[in-house]
Amino acid sequence: MESINAKYVSQKISKTKWRPVSHSDLQLPEIFATGSWDNEDNRISIWSIGSNLSTGMEDGFEGDPQLLCEHKHDGDVLDLQFLDQDRIVTASSTGAVTIFRHHQNSQVLAFEFLLVDPEVLLVQTISVSQLWARAHRYPCDNAPCTGVVCSSPEIVTVGEDGRIVVFRADQEGVVRVIENADSSTIHAVTYLRTTEILTVNSIGQLKLWDFRQQSNSPSQILSLSGDRVPLHCVDRHPNQQHIVATGGQDGMLCVWDVRQGNTPFSLMEAHTAEMWEVHFHPTNPDHLFTCSEDGSLLHWETSSHSDMPSFLQGGRNSSMVSRSAMAPAGGKQPLISAWLSGDSSKGRLETTHMLPSQTLSVNSLDVLGPCLVCGTDGEAIFVNRQVPV
Amino acid sequence: MEEVDVEPTITNIPAISDGKHMGFAWGPGDILVYETRYKASGASGSGCSFIHEIRKDEDIYSPILRKLFNESHHIFVGLQTIREDLPSKRDVNAQLVRKNPHSVFYSDIHFITLFSGTILTLICFLLKVSILLAIELIWNLCEVLFIDAAPAGSLLLHLLDWVRLHKADVDEKAREVLQSESPAEHRDYWDVVVSYVLQGRLEEVRQMLVKQANLQPAARSMYKQMDTLLSKMPFYNPGGTQTLTEFDVKWRHWHEEVDRCLQDNSFASNRHLELICKILLGDEDTLLDHKELLGTWYHFLVTRLLFCHPTVKLTELHYYAQSCMTMFLDSRSVPEPLDNILLAAFEFDIHQVIKECSIALNNWWFVAHLTDLLDHCKLLQSHNLHFGSNLREFLLLEYASGLFTHHSLWQLAVDYFDHCPEFGRVYLELQIERVPLETERKALKVLRVCEQRQMSEQVRSICKIMAMRALRNNRLGSALSWSIRAKDAAFATLISERFLQDYCAKGTFSDLDLIDNLGPAMLLSDRLTFLGKYREFHKLYGEKRFREAAKLLLSLMTAKIAPQSFWMTLLTDALPLLEQKEVSHQQQLVLGHGFLPHIALQKLHKKRLQEQKHNIPETRFADPISCS
């Protein structure tokens, strides 16, 4: 855990996201954005961890994220995505959807304390590029916009009002609205294919929506056969588009195969409280990361001798329970997947706690390459630059 | 009534005109004040329509201090779980303040310089930094005196470390001097050397003096002599085999040697070296001559102890502390709060330290954590206060209550309340209900806090608030998910009623995605079960599975979970089934008759009511069955 630094930032972090790096460069991610929540003045901020990977730092400052710039945000930042290298879309608790633009080289006249002549400095700034103020609303009130996902230039948002709205960046109006898509709150959304999205809601359902169809009803509904536990997060496998992972209020991690019917492929007890985010590693999908209200961030790693990851092996109705929450900080606990009907040595699931000790809720995480960033309710950001993937 | 320790400060409220009477109401962290119309004499004046909010603790809103609050919360929680030995507690808490003020703020100072709005912001920032440095000073001294509680010999070493840590400007000056072209001729050169001597950093002194010695080859022997003296000064080694007595003897020898050098006028020709010699002897007048280099009376104290009584014991400290403070400060200048606090610490009066800190500082953060640490080290004799809890708990409760008034820091406060065994839970129960719930996500977090502590009443109340809000916005699915969380059968019934009313009004069900997928949640309330089953009936009918449909309808009727208002509807639904071939004759009969008693009774009841109105005598009714 030596390579993980905590930085206290005086704002509770609700979302963190790495800025995408172009695949051509073999660069490591350097810049990430964060959004705050529960503040009187919420902000989105952009940070840099610099390009030096000094190890064994006594000081801890060389690796610390440095604030580049920030901007006021109206309402809690409930979701945040990079539209492209320079633009960030946010979902607000006021129901607004905003596009911010990050200017990397603005000229600013600065008066340094005690210096008489102002200097012209090149600084980074953020400005509001576009705003849809009442994307999500009730008839006489605002409804928080809870999730946003984008595939430039298309932006899809979901909210507590149960609507799904599609925007296009640079276009004023709304492209498409699915009214009353859900009678409960939609918590998260993700792209399944370029024309299909998947939403999860607070009565434990996954709904597939096909934008090619004109109807306002989902093309498929999946849910757990047991209790209707609200689902909070969803992520799709980067290579296999039918594999989807969800996390819910009871901290269970479910992996679904959307082609095959109604029940999840595997169920794993991951956390003791709500799971806020689940992410497959974008280039190494044998690794999965989850973070939760109980203050832990888990790194799930499967290793199997066959080509398919062990999430996909095993029978349709098998479910697996693995006790991972009690692992000591920093310890690895190998777990044999009991759900493999055949040889248990075919696959292994390892879970590691990534944070050094107990913290308040970890609200968000993002992973790109070997770098992981997460934000907590303890007003701290953790960056780990040597994630073993 | 007890005497007040310090005169209360008066705050003028500019918007309220002079002489007006004010009304007020206490809040959790502030006072609301308004102007009344009361006049002492004459007609009552006109009122003013403003309400003023007066807040004492601005600190919790400072973004800089928030970092401190969060880090200290993290360490506080860690401290509560360590139960066993003292050293680890010390280590844990040693991180608390020691790395913070310097690290946290200086990395941001550049950014703030660039972007802070006004000079005022910067001044406030610098003030806060100075307060924090003072806090660090006090905290470290408390650690040295109360927690480490070193025996004679080591005590001085700890005190030396303490002073060195807080006098970092010497190193900066030294760097400047050494980086200049000719360090020995720099104007600050001798200041740096003397400062190093005062701090007992004799290695550095020797290194500096070498440079001077190279410049004055003629005086080489004198410098050599000084170098020898400096190198021979004994420092106590706590880990070594030397006992305190042996060290004392050695030290006296050395002291006498230095004295001899002075009497011999060995350094008479060089006033600087003579000065150093006098300092090494601990000459008070010489030390007091260098007040600007010492800076503070406690530096003076430690230096004096270093060169006069290196084997000082903890119990002897306060004699020296008081006398040093008196000697150092002019008779005219009043000791500042910081001085009083430090003096109280030297006098081992822990309660006085806490009291003075409470008065001097705006925020309970410092005293709460200090008291907690001392309590864990079992140094605090717990007096029972009039209100039943001990001092530690009292301070923690005050601090946490203050945190709860902050829109964001309430989450930290929860953990503090958890570790207040007597009143923590009650305070938490009262405070947690008042956290505003703007979004579902926040409500979920508050709920999780309540559920983890089995506060079922608060859980129910929060879920009800959220469910009502959802219902008002016509989000029936959300409302249902909240009532499931709270296991609130009554609310689930309410929601089902809404659905059924909608059905009666529109003829179709809304939110089919919800009703079709109720799952085990259906069992939460009878009405909800009915709703689910009724919908299932519709589905079966739509799929033309009449036999199953009839069976279901029958069970619905016989189970008696249908609301009265729905009976007619159910009967109407039954009618087409009576005509279906798949439905068995038996089923038809039962269907037909099943409800009739109910319907008849209903009609009877209505008729009776009408009669009572018109006062018509009763008549006999025909046999209900023959009426069908």
- CA–CA dist B514, B608 (Å, integer): 41
Residue whose entry in the numeric block shows the structure tokens 């979901």:
A158
- pLDDT value of position A140: 86
Stated as kind and residue range, the H or E segment containing B340 is helix B337-346
CA B427 to chain centre: 14
Q: CB distance B473–A183 less than 8 Å? A: no
Q: CB distance A226–B445 less than 8 Å? A: no
- The lowest-confidence range among B34-43, B478-487, B575-584 is B575-584
Report chain B's C-alpha Rg in angstroms.
41
Summarize the confidence of residues B474-486 as an average pLDDT: 87
- pLDDT value of position B99: 41
Stated as kind and residue range, the H or E segment containing B117 is none
- The lowest-confidence range among A106-110, B81-85, B197-201, B272-276 is B81-85
- pLDDT value of position B194: 92
With contacts defined as CB-CB under 8 Å, which chain A residues touch B119?
A: 113
Q: CB distance B520–A380 less than 8 Å? A: no
Asked if residue B408 lies in contact with residue B387, where contact means CB atoms within 8 angstroms, the answer is no
pLDDT in tens, A7-37: 889 899 999 999 998 766 677 888 999 999 9
Q: CB distance B441–A218 less than 8 Å? A: no
Q: Between chain A and chain B, how many beta carbons pairs sit less than 8 Å apart?
A: 149
The interaxial angle of helices B456-472 and B476-486, nearest 10 deg, is: 170
B600 pLDDT band, cuts 50/70/90, is low
Q: CB distance A139–B473 less than 8 Å? A: yes
CA B241 to chain centre: 46
Highest-pLDDT range among A370-379, B237-246, B578-587: A370-379
Task: Give the closest residue to B140 by CA, choosing from B182, B106, B93, B107.
Answer: B93
Q: Is the dihedral of CA A55, A59, A64, A66 positive or negative?
A: negative
- CA–CA dist B311, B323 (Å, integer): 18
* Predicted confidence (pLDDT) at residue B253 exceeds the cutoff of 80: yes
According to DSSP, the residues that pair with A17 across neighbouring strands are A33
For B39-108, the DSSP string reads -SSSS-------EEEEES--GGG-HHHHHHHHHHHHHHHHHHH--S-HHHHHHHHHHHHHSHHHHHHHHH
Mean confidence (pLDDT) of chain B: 80
Asked if residue B451 lies in contact with residue B425, where contact means CB atoms within 8 angstroms, the answer is no
Task: Give the closest residue to B497 by CA, choosing from B465, B527, B526.
Answer: B527
Summarize the confidence of residues B121-136 as an average pLDDT: 75
- The lowest-confidence range among A20-34, A194-208, B156-170 is A20-34
Mean confidence (pLDDT) of chain A: 81
Task: Give the closest residue to B202 by CA, choosing from B228, B176, B237.
Answer: B228
B584 pLDDT band, cuts 50/70/90, is low
Residue whose entry in the numeric block shows the structure tokens 């003075």:
B356
Q: CB distance A377–B114 less than 8 Å? A: no
3-state secondary structure chain A: CCCEEEEECCCEEEEEEECCCCCCCCCCCCEEEEEEECCCCEEEEEEECCCCCCCCCCCCCCCCCEEEEEEEECCCEEEEEECCCCEEEEEECCCCEEEEEEEEEEEEEECCCCCCCCEEEEEEEEEEEEEECCCCEECCEECCEEEEEEECCEEEEEECCCCEEEEECCCCCEEEEECCCCCCCEEEEEEEECCEEEEEECCCEEEEEECCCCCCCCCEEEECCCCCCCEEEEEECCCCCCEEEEEECCCEEEEEECCCCCCCCEEEECCCCCEEEEEECCCCCCEEEEEECCCCEEEEEEEECCCCCCCCCCCCCCCCCCCCCCCCCCCEEEEECCCCCCCHHHEEEEEEECCCCCCCCEEEEEEECCEEEEEECCCEEEEECCCCC
- pLDDT value of position B118: 56
3-state secondary structure of B390: strand
- pLDDT value of position A101: 94
With contacts defined as CB-CB under 8 Å, which chain A residues touch B440?
A: 144, 146, 160, 185, 202
Using a CB–CB cutoff of 8 Å, tell me whether B442 touches chain A. yes
B593 pLDDT band, cuts 50/70/90, is low
* Predicted confidence (pLDDT) at residue B112 exceeds the cutoff of 50: no
Q: Report how far apart, in Å, the C-alpha atoms of B28 and of each of B391, B401, B404, B406, B431 are.
A: 20, 7, 9, 10, 10
- The lowest-confidence range among A281-290, A371-380, B424-433, B509-518 is B509-518
Task: Give the closest residue to B538 by CA, choosing from B498, B564, B569.
Answer: B569
Summarize the confidence of residues A254-274 as an average pLDDT: 85
With contacts defined as CB-CB under 8 Å, which chain B residues touch A14?
A: 441
Segment B257-264 long-range contacts (CB within 8 Å, at least 24 positions apart)? B257/B229, B257/B232, B258/B229, B261/B225, B261/B229
pLDDT in tens, B546-561: 888 888 888 887 777 7
Q: Which is more confidently placed, B387 or A57?
A: B387
Which of B70, B407, B448 lies closest to A38 in CB terms? B407
Q: Report how far apart, in Å, the C-alpha atoms of B626 and of each of A70, B48, B597, B618 are.
A: 83, 79, 12, 20
3-state secondary structure of B293: helix
- CA–CA dist B193, B209 (Å, integer): 8
Using a CB–CB cutoff of 8 Å, tell me whether B445 touches chain A. yes
With contacts defined as CB-CB under 8 Å, which chain A residues touch B517?
A: 203, 205, 221, 223, 228
- CA–CA dist B280, B225 (Å, integer): 14
Using a CB–CB cutoff of 8 Å, tell me whether A380 touches chain B. yes
pTM of the model as a whole: 0.80
* Predicted confidence (pLDDT) at residue A363 exceeds the cutoff of 80: yes
- pLDDT value of position B448: 94
3-state secondary structure of B338: helix
- The answer to whether the complex's ipTM is over 0.90 is no
- pLDDT value of position A130: 93
Q: Is the dihedral of CA B53, B54, B58, B60 positive or negative?
A: negative
Residues 318-337 of A with CB under 8 A from B: none
* Alpha-helical regions (H) of B188-243: 189-198, 202-215, 220-232
- pLDDT value of position A234: 95
B115 pLDDT band, cuts 50/70/90, is very low
3-state secondary structure of B507: coil
- pLDDT value of position A272: 92
Residues 421-440 of B with CB under 8 A from A: 438-440
Strands across the sheet containing A186-193: A186-193, A196-201, A205-210, A220-223
- pLDDT value of position A305: 42
Q: Which of B104, B439, B447, B474 to mutate to test the interface with A (most CBs of A within 10 A)?
A: B439
Summarize the confidence of residues A38-46 as an average pLDDT: 92
Summarize the confidence of residues A131-151 as an average pLDDT: 93
Q: CB distance A218–B448 less than 8 Å? A: no
Highest-pLDDT range among B65-69, B132-136, B299-303: B299-303
* Predicted confidence (pLDDT) at residue A348 exceeds the cutoff of 70: no
- pLDDT value of position A292: 94
Using a CB–CB cutoff of 8 Å, tell me whether A203 touches chain B. yes
Q: Report how far apart, in Å, the C-alpha atoms of A280 and of each of A243, A245, A287, A301 are.
A: 10, 8, 6, 10
Write out the two tokens for B386: 């009039």
Residues 309-348 of B with CB under 8 A from A: none
* Predicted confidence (pLDDT) at residue B18 exceeds the cutoff of 60: yes
* Predicted confidence (pLDDT) at residue B35 exceeds the cutoff of 90: no
Which of A10, A110, A205 lies closest to B517 in CB terms? A205
Q: Which is more confidently placed, B331 or A11?
A: A11
* Predicted confidence (pLDDT) at residue A60 exceeds the cutoff of 50: no
Listed in sequence order, the residues at least 6 apart from B106 whose beta carbon sits closer than 8 Å to its beta carbon are none
* Predicted confidence (pLDDT) at residue A373 exceeds the cutoff of 70: yes
- pLDDT value of position B303: 92
* Predicted confidence (pLDDT) at residue B256 exceeds the cutoff of 90: yes
